[in-house]
Structure 1
Amino acid sequence: MIIQPSGLPSFRPLPIASQNVSRQCRLLILLLHILSLSPALLGIIYNIKAAYDVPNRDAGGPLVLGNTQTDYWVANLWCVLAGYWSWTLSTSMIRRWLYHYEIINAIFRLITLMALNWSISAYLQNLQDPITIWMSASGVLLVGTLLKLTLASNPKYSRKADAESDLRLHSKSTIVRVLVLPLFFVTCCTLWATIYEIGKVEYRSSELMEGVQLDTTIQTKQLVLVMSSWTEQGRQRRQAMRETTLQWLPNDSYRFVLGKPPSASAQMKYGQLIVQESSENHDMLIVPSSDIEQDKSHKVLEALRWASSVDYEYLIKTEDDMFVRWDLLTSELIALGPKAEYWRGLAYRNMPPSDDSKLAMNTDYGMPILPAYTSGSLYVISHDVADWITRAKTVVRYIARDDQNLAVWLFGHTIKPIHDPRIQENEVCEDDLLAMRVGGGDRLQTMYGLAKQGRSQCSGGPAIRSCSVCYPCHKRSDDWRSYNLECDPVKGITLHNQPLVTKIADQTVKDQLEKSRLGENDAWIIPNVLSQRTSVYSDNDWDLIYWVCWTSDPSTFTDRHWRALELVWIHQPRAVIFMISNTLSTDFFKDYISRGYKIHVVHIDKENLLNWHWYFGPGTLDWLQNWERWENESFFYWHLTDYVRLYLLYSYGGTYMDMDALWLRAPPDPNLEFIGSDYSSVWSDREWTLNDKNLYLPQGLMRFKRGWTLFREMAESSFSSYAYDPKCFNCHGPKAITSYVREHRAPLEAANFTILPRHVLYPASYLEIYKYLLPNPKAEAELKSLESWNIHLFGKMTNSLDIQPGSIIDVLFKRFDLGRHHPNGSWQIMGPSQHLYHTGTWLDAPPGRFQGLDTIYIRGDLTEARLEIEIAYGELQVGTQPWKDRTTHSQQEINKLLNQLTYSPSSELVTKGGRDLLVVRVVSGNKVQEAKIEVIIPAPQRLI
C-alpha cells in the first residue's frame, strides 16, 4: 500500500487524537495554536482604532506626513495575510512535530515558535508606517513557510522516499494556493490604494478632518485661512499674529495654511519644529500642495476644499504678514448677516496679465484682460462662492497669483467683487484701515497696542506719509495716480492708460447706494427733509425734487430768476426746491414759504461739503480739501456748480435746473429720466460730440433717479486734484458728460437713460436765444406753437440783455406769474378761455389735464378760500378721486388742487364731439371770482 503524503490545507482539523495525545495536552496545543493569530489580531484592532482616531489626532491641524486612514486600512489587509500565514505555518509544524517527536518535545518546539513569532512582531512595531510593519511581518512568515515547504519536499527529510514526486507536486500546489494567490490579492489592493491616494487624496486634510467641525457655537461663523510657509520667517510671523491680532478671534475660527515641505532640507530643518508648533497651538493646516510661491494658487484651492466640510458663513483669506482689525471686520460681517454671492476685497478691474515670468499665466489662457479680482492680501467670500470653486467640474487652471486665479475660477458667474479700499497691499497707514501689510513683528505689536488703546493706528512708530491707493492724497508725499492708476470708489482700481489693451465694457450703469441710518452713517442737514445721504423724497417722490444753485451776490438775483422758480411751482405746485448757495440767507424766499411753497436754502462751503461727506471718492475729496488752491481761479464757482449738480443727482435724485431755465409745461411722465440735447456750431467740438452733426448734452436741465454711475465716474475723473484743469471752462460740463455718454451710450439707454430731442428743452441754441428777448409781433403765436417743455436762456449769453416788451419771454412772464409783488388780498384766477380735449404726443399732458399754457392757477396772495368747480356734462377728478368742493388755506394748496384736475367727457361727447363748460369759482371772504373754460371735444374722425 502506498502511503499518501499529508498535505497542508489551511484549516484542516488537527490530527491530535490519532497521535494518542491526552485531553490536557490537546487543550494546551490548541491554546498555543490560537496564540499564533494573536499578533495579527492585535494589529487589526490597533489599526482600526488608529484609522478612526485620525480626525481627532489632527483636529488642530495635521502633523507632518502623518499616516492616513487609507494607510491603516491597507495595513489591515497585510495583518490578515500575516495572520493567515502564521496560522497555516503553525498548523503544518504542529502536525509535523507530533508525527516525528514525543509530545513533550513537540510542545516545547511549539512554544519556541510562538515566542519567536511574538518577538519578531514586537520588534517590527518600532517601524512608524503600519503598512511597513505588517508587510515585514508577512515577509518573515513567507520566508518561514517557504523553508518549511522546501524541507518537507526534500526526500532526505521524508520517511517515504518513494513518494518524492507526489510531495513535490503537492508542494507546488500549496505554494500557489497558500502563498501566491493571497499575496497577489493583497499586493494588488495595496497598489490600487496607493495609486488612489497619490492621485486623488494624497494626505488630504479634508479627509483627515472628516467628521470634525470647527466650533459651530462661534457666533461669527467666519473661517479665517492665513497663508504661511515652511520658513523661519513664516514661523515668526505666525507667532507674532497669535500674540497680537488673532487675540480678536476665537481659537477655532482660523487656520494657518502650509503646503508640503518645499524640499528635503526644509523637511529636515523645520519638520520637527512644525510638528511641535502644531501640537502646541492646534491651528495649523497642511494641504497636499507645494509650498513654493509659484504654486500658491494650488495651495489656496486645497485649503478651500478642506473648508468645504466646515460650517461657516464667510471665509476670509489673508497672509501672515498682514495687520488685520479682526474686531472690526467680524463685527461688520455679523451686522451684515448671511449673504449669498458675496465677494469683497481691494478690487482690480481691466488689468492685463502680469509680465513677470515668475507669475506668468498658462499660455492657453487667451484673454488679454483679467476678470475683476481682489487683492490676495485679504478677501472675504461667502460659503456658496467657495463651493462654486471647489465643486467645479471644468478643468482647473492655475495662475501663480492666487488672487487673480480666484477671478479666473469664478469667471462665468455673475458675481462681482465689492471694492473695499480699507484693505491695502503695502505698508501704508490710514485711520480707518481694516488690513494692511506690515514690515515686521515690532510694527504689528505697535499697531495692535494702539488699536487696543483706542488710539489712531497711524500714531507711534515711523511716520508713513505715502498715499494709500484709492485714498485722498491731500498733504501726502506722493500720489498713487502718478503710477498710472485710477480708482473708482465702487468698482475699484484700474490702469489709467492701457494703449495696447481694450477694456472690458462694464454694463453696470447704476450703483446700489448704501441705505441711510440716521444717527449712524447719516445726519440731518435740514431736519426731517434732507440728510447727508438722502432726502424724504428721494425714493417715492423723487420727481418733486428740484435743485438750483446760486453762487453770486444776492443783488444779482433779478426778476427773471424769481420767475424761473415761480414757473416750477405753477406747473408743479408740489415741487420741493433746494437752493444750493453760499450767498443767500435762509429767509431769502420767505414770501413763497408763507404761501405754502417748499423751498430750502442749503449753505455750501468747504467745511460743510467735507462734514456732509459730499464727495464721491478720493479724487473729489482731494479737490475739496484743496478749495483754497482753486478758489481764486476765474471759473471756480462755475465748476463748483458743475460738481454739486453731479453729486446731488447721484445721491438724492430729482431735477437739476439752471436759474435761467424757464418751464412751459411739466414733463407728463413722472418716471421719465432725461437729459436734453443741443447742436454745437464749433467744428472742433466734433471730437467729443455724440455724432457727426455735433449733437452734445448740455447740463442745464436734467432729471434722474439717484444712483446713476455716470455722475460719480464723471466727477471722480474731472474733479481730482491730479487731473483738474481750473482754466478750462467747459471741461467739467457738457464736454465731460457728452464724452462719457458717447462711450457708454448703449448700456445707459438700455437702462432708460433718455436723450430728449433738441427742441424739447432747448428750442433755440445759445447763438439764437437772444431773439426770444426781442420784440416779436408773432410772439404769442410762436409761444403756443412751441413743442417744448422748457426755454433755456443760456445766462452767459443773455444776462446782460433786457427782456423787451412784446418778446416771447415777456409774453411767457405775463401769462405765468404767481403775483409775488401783488399787494395782500389781491388775487385772481388765471386760465385759458378754451381748452382742447385731445390726445397729443408723448411730449404733451394726458387728455383732460389742464397743463402747459392751459394751466389753471391762482395769481396773488390768497390764504383761506373755498374752491368750487362745476362741469356741465363731463366728470372731474383730483388724482384718482371724484371732485368735491373744498376749503384751502394757502396759494400752494389751491394751486395743487387745480393742477391735479382731470376732465373726462361724457360718452355722448366722446361719440359725437361737442363742447362742455367748466366753471372754476373761488370764494375768499367777501370776494368771489370765477373762470369759465370752454372745453372742446373734437368729433372722432370717420374713415371714408
Structure 2
Amino acid sequence: MAQKNTLPFFRQKRILSSLNVPRRYEIPVSILRALSCVPAALNIIHNLKASWQVPERDAGGPLTIQTTQAEYYVAILWCILAGYWSWILATSMMKRWLYHYEIKHAIIRLLTLIVVTWCLTGIIGSIIDASDPIRIQMTICFILLFLNFLKLTFASSTKYSQKIEDVLPTTRFNLKSTAVKILLLPLLIVMGLSGFALTGQVNRLQYNSILLMNNQPPFELDSTVSPITGGITILVLILSSWTSQSAEKRQILRDTTLHWTEKTSDTNIIYRFVVGQPPSPRIQSWMGPKLLAESEKYHDLLVVPAPDLQLDKSKKLFEAFKWASSSVRHDYLVKTDDDVFVRFDVLRKELVELGSPKSNYWNGFVYRNMPIDYFKPSYNMDHDYAMPVLPAFTSGTLYTISSDIVDRIAKIEHPQRFVSRDDVNLAMWLFGFDIEPTHDIRIQDSADACEESMIAKRFPYDKFDKSMNLIYKNTEHRQPQCFGLNKKKKCAVCYPCHGKSDNWRSSNLHCDLERGVSLRENQAYKKISGPVVKDTLPSSVIGVNDQWIIKDILSARSSIYTEDEENWHLLYWVCWTSGSETFTDRHWRAIEMVWVHEPNAVIIMMSNSLPENFFNEYLARGYNIQLVNFTKENLLKWDWYFGPGTKDWIQDWEKWDGGQYFNYHLTDYIRCILLYKYGGTYMDMDALWIRIPPNSNQEFIGSDYSNNYDDRAWTLDDKGLYLPQGLMRFKRGWKLFREMAEGAFDSFIYDPDCFNCGGPKAITSYVRERRAVLEEGGLTILPRKVLYPYGYNEIHKLLEPNALAEQDVKNKIEPFSWNIHLFGKMTNNKPVQAGSAIDFVFRKFDLDIPHRGTKTHSIISSTGTYDVPMRLVGPRDYLYHSISERMLEDDKKHDNLLVLQPVPGKFQGLNVIFVRGGPNKISKVTLQVEASIGRGRINNGTYEKKTRLELQDVTMREVNSVLNTLEYSPTKLMMANGGRDRFTVDLTFEHDAKVEKDQVQITVVVVEPVEEDDPLEED
C-alpha cells in the first residue's frame, strides 16, 4: 500500500494539476480552458450594452414592439449558463484526451474543440434574428447540453470506466448524479429566473399598451397649420430627434437655410421638424421642457406617434405623411434631415417653374437595381421581399414628391411594412404604382465632396456648425458656394472627376444622368431593364435659351430640323478628321449625290481640319453645307457630352490624342452625340446615295455579314449579321447612342487600344441584347442589300471595269438599294476605273459644280473651267409599277421589300430629274410638264395634263428642289390594264439676256399590279 504523505498541503510538491498535466503545461491548458468561455463573455458584454441603450432608443412601447431591458438581462443569464457548460465540456474532454493521448496531442484537440464551439456560436448568431437575443442564447445552450449528455453517456461505458478505475481508483462516474449536478440543476435555475422575469415583463407591456392606446394623442406641439391661399404651397418635413445635438442642428438650420423659406408672392413654404415620442421618462424629463420652449418660440416642431430612434425613421416619416395628408393643403412635399444643407431658394424657383402641380412627381438622387442587402435596410428584408434587387429609390438626403403621392401612401388601409432606411421604405410603399423617380445629381450624401451646382448636401455633426455657416455665407455673398469646403478636391457621385483627387467609379458605381446610380454590369444580380428606348430631352427655344453654333440652323441644344417633325430627316451629318489634301473626287461626289436626291438637305460637316471656305462653290449655288470645328474647347462649351464620364474623356483629350485609334474613336463619339442630341442622318464620306428612302419618317440602320468566325460571339445571329454605322437615320433621344458612348468613352474605363469598342461591335452587341424592345420602339434594321449591296470583301469589284456595269446597277443594285458603301478602309487606295459601276454612278449623279482639286488645284468640271452650261437630266424610260394592297400583304410574308422601293409615280433613283451646271443665280426659269394620256403635277399641286411654273432669281438648289417634286399618275384604265404614255419636261433658262432651253422626253410604261396568284419576284 502506498505510504501517505503527512506534510501539509502547502508543503506538498505538486507534480500534477487537477488535470494531471506537468507544471509547465498548467498555464497553457488553463488559458485554453478559459478560452472556451470567451463567446459567452462577449455575448454578455453585447447584451449588457444593448440593455443600457434601451432607455435612449425605445420610444414606441408595445405599439412598436422592441427588445426590452428584461429580455437582454434574461439573455445574459443564458450566456452565463452557456459559458459554464462550455467550460464543463472542455474540462471533461481534456481529461479523457489526457488519458488516451500525449499531452501535446490532447492540447491540439482541446484547441480544435474551442474553435468549433466559437464557430458554432457565430453561425447561430448570424442565422437567428439579432432582435431576439434570448432565442440565440437558448439555442447555443441546448446544443451544449446535448454535447455534454453525449459525452457523459459515452464516458459511462464499462470499458472506459474500467480503464479509468485502473489508473485513478478514487474516481467514480455516476451518470445520474453528474448530469443533475452540472447540467439539469443549473438549467432549472436559469429557466426559473427567466420565467419570473419575462412574466413580469408581459404584465407591464399589457398595462402600457392600454395607456398608450387610450391616452396618446396622434400629433402634438405645432401640428396645426393656418389655411393658406394663393401660389404654390411647399411642405418641408425635416426629420429630427430628441437629442441635444439635434436641437443644436435645428437652431443652425433656422439661422441659415430656413431663411430661404420665407413667404413670397408666388410660393408658400411651410416647414416642420419631425420628432417622435420621447424615448424614455428620463429623456422626457430632461429634454421635454426645452422642446416645449423651442416650440413656443419657433412654432415649427411636430411630434408624431412613432419611435424616435434611427432604426425607426420610416415609422416616423409615415406618421408625418399621415399628418401632411390630413392637416395641410400642399402641392409638393419636400423631405430632408436636420443635418442637410438645402438650397430652398433654388428649390422654390424650380417648383414654381413647373407650373401647376404635377401628378406623380418624384425627384431626388436615384439609386437603381441595387442589391437587396447593399444598404442593409433590414436583417429580414431578403426574406420578406422576394426581389432580386431593390426598387428604384431616392436618397433620404432630399427628395420632392407631389401631394397625390403623399395621399396615396397615407391613405393605404392595410398595415404598412417598415425597414430601417426611410428612403428605401418610400420606394417599397410606391412599388407597384408605376411611379418613376427623376434623377437629380445635385443632391449628395458625401461629407467631403462639394460641387457648385449642389442643392442639398449632408454634413457630419463635428463639422455641421462651421460648414453650414460657411456655405450659407458663400451663397448669400454670391461667391462659389463650395469655397473653403472641398479642400481635398473630392469628386461627388455623378459629377465629372477631371482634376479631382478621387473617382467615385472606383467604388463600382455607374451613373446614368437620366435614370440614376447603379452598380456596374459585372455584379451578380440581374439588371432590370425597361421598355422605354428614348430619353425625353429638354425642349429648347432655338437661339433663345442656348447659344448658336450655326446661326439660324444649329444651337448647342437643338436645331431647326430637330424640332421639325416633317423635315427632321433633311439634317445630314458627316465627319472629316484628316487633312484637306485627302479630300478626293469621290468625297465631292458623295456630297453631291445627297443633293441630287434631296436638294433641300442641309449637310453639317464636323471637321477640325478643313478651311471655312472649302465648300464656297456649293454655297453659291444655294446648297446648304456648314463646317463645324469640333475642338475640345468647343465640345465642352456646347455641353456635347452625355455625362460625367464622357465629359472627363473629353477633358483628357490630350491624354488620348496621338493614340493609334483616337481619330476613329473620336468619329464614333461624335456620331453618337450628334444623333442623340439632334437626330437626322449620319453618313460616312464613302456612302454613295443612289436613291432616297421612300418613307422620310423611318428610323433605320443597315446590316451586313461578317466573314470572321470569331465575330459570331457578338453578331445578331449565327450567320454573322452585324450593324455597320456608315449610314443611319434616327430622331433625337435614342438611349442606345448614350449608353453605348458611356460604355466606351468613359474616361475611367476607356481603352485606347480597342479599335471596335465604339464601332459596329458596340452597337451590334447593344442591339442584340435589346432587339425586340428597340424594334418595338421604332428601330428598323434594314436588309443587307438596302445599304450595303456589296460587302467589304467584294466592294472592289464595283471599282473595276465591267462591260455590264450599267446593267448591273440598273437591275441588281438600284431596285432594292438606297446606297452603295465603298468601305473606305478597303478602297481608299483603289482608283475608280473608267467603265466600272462606281464610274457609271458618278457620271449619272454629277451636279457638275466647278471646284478646285485639293492636290492639283486645277478646276474640276465638265469644261475644265468655271463656265459650265446648265443641262436638264432625266431618264428616257420610266417603269410605273402599281402596287396593290394584296401585294403588300404577300410581301410581309417574305422580305417586306416593297415598302422600301420608290413610291410609284415619283422620279427617284436612276430616274431622278435634275439640272447640272449653270450659273450661281438664274434670272428666270420656266418649267412645263405635260403628259400625253396621264397626268402630272409639281410641288404637290393638282394632277393635270399640262402644268407650268415660273421661278424668278433662283439658284440651282431651288430649281432642283422643284424638279424633285415632279410626279406622274396614269389613268385608272392604264393602272388596271397597263400601257404606255409620254411624259415631257421642258425647262427654259433666262440669264444675262440669254435664253436656253432643254427638254427631257420620258417614255412611261405602266405595269398593272401583280395578280394575286402570281408569285412575287425580287428581280
Task: Output the CA distance in 2 between the equivalents of 1:357 and 1:369.
Answer: 12
Q: Deviations over 1:149-170 (max 9, x none)?
A: xxxxxxxxxxxxxxxxxxxxxx
1:846 has 2:872 as partner:
no
> What is the identity, as a one-letter code, of the residue corresponding to 1:253?
I
Stretch moving more, 239-248 or 217-226 = 217-226
Q: How does 1:856-895 map to 2 (within 5 A)?
A: 856-862=913-919, 863-864=921-922, 865-882=925-942, 883-887=947-951, 889-895=954-960
Q: Counterpart in 2 of 1:434?
A: 455
Q: Deviations over 1:111-150 (max 9, x none)?
A: xxxxxxxxxxxxxxxxxxxxxxxxxxxxxxxxxxxxxxxx
Q: 1:928 to 1:494 in 2, by over 3 A?
A: same
> What is the identity, as a one-letter code, of the residue corresponding to 1:620?
T
Q: Deviations over 1:71-92 (max 9, x none)?
A: xxxxxxxxxxxxxxxxxxxxxx
1:757 has 2:783 as partner:
yes
Q: 1:355 to 1:484 in 2, by over 3 A?
A: closer
Residue pair 1:839, 1:846 contacting (<8 A) in 2 also: no
Residue pair 2:236, 2:333 contacting (<8 A) in 1 also: yes
Q: How does 1:216-295 map to 2 (within 5 A)?
A: 216-217=228-229, 219-250=231-262, 253-295=270-312
1:288 counterpart SS class: coil
Q: Counterpart in 1 of 2:616?
A: 590
Q: Counterpart in 1 of 2:654?
A: 628
Task: Output the CA distance in 2 between the equivalents of 1:357 and 1:570.
Answer: 64
1:770, CA displacement in angstroms? 1.2
Q: Counterpart in 2 of 1:479?
A: 503
Q: How does 1:369-518 map to 2 (within 5 A)?
A: 369-427=389-447, 428-439=449-460, 440-461=464-485, 463-517=487-541
Task: Output the CA distance in 2 between the equivalents of 1:859 and 1:429.
Answer: 61
> What is the identity, as a one-letter code, of the residue corresponding to 1:803?
V
1:935 has 2:935 as partner:
no
Q: Counterpart in 2 of 1:533?
A: 557
Q: Counterpart in 1 of 2:347?
A: 329
Task: Output the CA distance in 1 between the equivalents of 2:836 and 2:724.
Answer: 25
1:307, CA displacement in angstroms? 0.6
1:326, CA displacement in angstroms? 0.9
> What is the identity, as a one-letter code, of the residue corresponding to 2:639?
H
> What is the identity, as a one-letter code, of the residue corresponding to 1:649?
L
> What is the identity, as a one-letter code, of the residue corresponding to 2:645?
G
> What is the identity, as a one-letter code, of the residue corresponding to 2:762?
A
2:958 counterpart SS class: helix
Task: Output the CA distance in 2 between the equivalents of 1:652 and 1:257.
Answer: 47
1:806 has 2:824 as partner:
no
Residue pair 1:561, 1:660 contacting (<8 A) in 2 also: yes
Q: Counterpart in 2 of 1:820?
A: 849
Task: Output the CA distance in 2 between the equivalents of 1:554 and 1:749.
Answer: 39
Q: 1:642 to 1:199 in 2, by over 3 A?
A: farther
> What is the identity, as a one-letter code, of the residue corresponding to 1:655?
T
Task: Output the CA distance in 2 between the equivalents of 1:919 and 1:319.
Answer: 79
1:629, CA displacement in angstroms? 0.5
With normalisation by structure 2, the TM-score equals 0.72
Q: 1:879 to 1:388 in 2, by over 3 A?
A: farther
1:357, CA displacement in angstroms? 5.6
Q: Counterpart in 2 of 1:551?
A: 577
Task: Output the CA distance in 2 between the equivalents of 1:836 and 1:360.
Answer: 75
> What is the identity, as a one-letter code, of the residue corresponding to 2:481?
Q
1:879, CA displacement in angstroms? 4.3
1:775, CA displacement in angstroms? 1.1
Q: 1:630 to 1:355 in 2, by over 3 A?
A: closer
Q: Deviations over 1:808-829 (max 9, x none)?
A: 1111101110002344351211
1:900 aligned to which of 959, 965, 969 = 965
For structure 2, the 5+ residue unaligned runs are: 1-58, 61-207, 264-268, 851-860, 884-897, 1014-1019
Q: Counterpart in 2 of 1:185?
A: none
1:414, CA displacement in angstroms? 2.0
Task: Output the CA distance in 2 between the equivalents of 1:789 and 1:941.
Answer: 24
2:279 counterpart SS class: coil
Residue pair 1:582, 1:605 contacting (<8 A) in 2 also: yes
Q: Counterpart in 2 of 1:56?
A: none
Residue pair 1:214, 1:253 contacting (<8 A) in 2 also: no
Task: Output the CA distance in 2 between the equivalents of 1:941 and 1:739.
Answer: 40
1:792, CA displacement in angstroms? 0.7
Q: Deviations over 1:905-936 (max 9, x none)?
A: 12232233211111111111321110100111
> What is the identity, as a one-letter code, of the residue corresponding to 1:846?
V
Task: Output the CA distance in 1 between the equivalents of 2:242 and 2:493.
Answer: 31
Task: Output the CA distance in 1 between the equivalents of 2:551 and 2:1010.
Answer: 56
Q: Counterpart in 1 of 2:644?
A: 618
Q: Deviations over 1:429-452 (max 9, x none)?
A: 111111111231110000000000
Q: Counterpart in 1 of 2:989?
A: 924
Task: Output the CA distance in 2 between the equivalents of 1:402 and 1:521.
Answer: 38
1:380, CA displacement in angstroms? 0.5
Task: Output the CA distance in 1 between the equivalents of 2:666 and 2:236.
Answer: 46
1:839, CA displacement in angstroms? 3.6
1:520, CA displacement in angstroms? 6.6
> What is the identity, as a one-letter code, of the residue corresponding to 1:366?
A
> What is the identity, as a one-letter code, of the residue corresponding to 1:284?
L
Task: Output the CA distance in 1 between the equivalents of 2:640 and 2:723.
Answer: 24
Task: Output the CA distance in 2 between the equivalents of 1:201 and 1:807.
Answer: 98
Task: Output the CA distance in 2 between the equivalents of 1:695 and 1:367.
Answer: 36
For structure 1, the 5+ residue unaligned runs are: 1-63, 66-193
1:199, CA displacement in angstroms? 5.3
> What is the identity, as a one-letter code, of the residue corresponding to 1:752?
G
Residue pair 1:206, 1:306 contacting (<8 A) in 2 also: no
Residue pair 1:206, 1:307 contacting (<8 A) in 2 also: no
1:793 aligned to which of 822, 828, 839 = 822
1:464, CA displacement in angstroms? 3.8
Q: Deviations over 1:527-549 (max 9, x none)?
A: 11100000011122211110000
Residue pair 2:680, 2:731 contacting (<8 A) in 1 also: yes
Q: Counterpart in 2 of 1:129?
A: none
> What is the identity, as a one-letter code, of the residue corresponding to 2:929?
I
1:712 has 2:738 as partner:
yes
1:657 aligned to which of 659, 676, 683 = 683
Q: Deviations over 1:249-299 (max 9, x none)?
A: 128610001111223332222112111111111001111110111111111
Residue pair 1:290, 1:299 contacting (<8 A) in 2 also: yes
How many equivalent pairs are there?
A: 753
Residue pair 1:201, 1:207 contacting (<8 A) in 2 also: no
> What is the identity, as a one-letter code, of the residue corresponding to 2:343?
R
Task: Output the CA distance in 1 between the equivalents of 2:504 and 2:603.
Answer: 40
1:354 has 2:397 as partner:
no
Q: Deviations over 1:318-365 (max 9, x none)?
A: 011111111111111111122111100001111112256663353321
Q: Counterpart in 2 of 1:365?
A: 385
Task: Output the CA distance in 1 between the equivalents of 2:377 and 2:695.
Answer: 59
Q: How does 1:777-788 map to 2 (within 5 A)?
A: 777-784=803-810, 785-786=812-813, 787-788=816-817
Q: 1:520 to 1:622 in 2, by over 3 A?
A: farther
Residue pair 1:838, 1:937 contacting (<8 A) in 2 also: yes
Stretch moving more, 871-880 or 791-800 = 871-880
Task: Output the CA distance in 2 between the equivalents of 1:868 and 1:562.
Answer: 31
